[in-house]
Structure 1
Amino acid sequence: MTGAMADKKMALLWLKIAVVYLLVGVIYGIVMAASHQYVFRSVHAHINLLGWASLALAGLMYHLYPTAARSLLGRLHFYLHNGGLPVLLVCLHFYAGGMRQLEPVVALASVIVGLGILAFTVNVMMNMKVALSTGNVDSA
């Protein structure tokens, strides 16, 4: 597989995962509203913002900046964000439901996702600078 094809596949993977979070977020919101269990609204918000919105935007950024997609920071972002987020969401659900002993796990998973977002931020800033200096956004 060529480098360009691998870059496109990585961007598409981010977008596919994002769409799954969109579906999960909508279903979760419907169930939450139908059961009047609004104590779970923070979980619903995290699914939609850290799942759907953040992953979709990352996928678009990695499509625009393929150098970022294939970098070590891009891979680090992928594994930290996609490894930490499901743990965060499941534990946050149970924490909101009353299992307060999960607070350290929620905190740790939040830090892991945050480190992934830090990697993404540095990655995008570095690769935007290269793309803008060369005048070529699509093949930074």
Structure 2
Amino acid sequence: MQTLSPSVPTLSARGVLWLRLAVLYLIVGVGLGIVMGASQNFTLRPVHTHVNLLGWATMALAGVIYSVFPQAGNSRLGRAHFWLANLSLPAMLVGLGLVVSGQRQFTPLLAVAETVAAIGILVFAANLFLNLKAD
């Protein structure tokens, strides 16, 4: 008698990379939250929010989407989305942290990083509209 083993889905390498990066941002976000709570200094609350929303939640969703629809993740738009998101987010987090800490001279860095991040989101949207097809 032949036994059936449950099939394990094969995830795209690009989707897995997005998910791994998302988990790193989750760790950073939780760590920052713990530090803020322990110190009762919530100056970096906007950074904490962006780490969790754009780093953890948005990247995790992109990872799941690009795992389910690997053609989108492997497309030119998918690769552009990856680099736009992963270059802009760290710069945005650092810039935001400096600006909310009173270092207003870093506002241009923050503005550029936010713009690049927004372009990345638009590229992601275009990618999904162009490359996701229903059967």
Q: Same fold (TM over 0.5)?
A: yes
1:15 paired to 2:19: yes
TM-superposed deviation, 1:39:
1.7
TM-superposed deviation, 1:66:
1.1
TM-superposed deviation, 1:17:
0.1
Amino acid of the residue matched to residue 18 of structure 2?
Answer: W
The structure where helix makes up a greater share of residues is 1
Residues paired across the two proteins, number:
126
1:50 paired to 2:50: no
Gapped runs of 5+ residues in structure 1?
A: 136-140
TM-superposed deviation, 1:38:
1.2
Question: Rg larger in 1 or in 2?
Answer: 2
1:73 paired to 2:94: no
Q: Which residue of 2 aligns with 1:63?
A: 67
Segment drifting more, 7-16 vs 41-50: 7-16
TM-superposed deviation, 1:10:
0.5
Match of 1:110 among 105, 111, 114: 114
Q: Which residue of 2 aligns with 1:122?
A: 126
Query: Which secondary structure does the structure 1 equivalent of 2:105 belong to?
Result: helix
Instruction: Summarize deviations over 1:25-54 as a string: whole Å, max 9, x none.
Output: 000011011111112110000000000000
Question: Which runs of 4 or more aligned residues in structure 1 lie more than 6 Å from their structure 2 counterparts after TM superposition?
Answer: none
Q: Partners of 1:96 and 1:34 in 2: how far apart?
A: 19
Q: TM-score, normalised by structure 2?
A: 0.90
Q: TM-score, normalised by structure 1?
A: 0.87
Q: Partners of 1:77 and 1:53 in 2: how far apart?
A: 15
1:84 paired to 2:88: yes
Query: Which secondary structure does the structure 2 equivalent of 1:39 belong to?
Result: coil
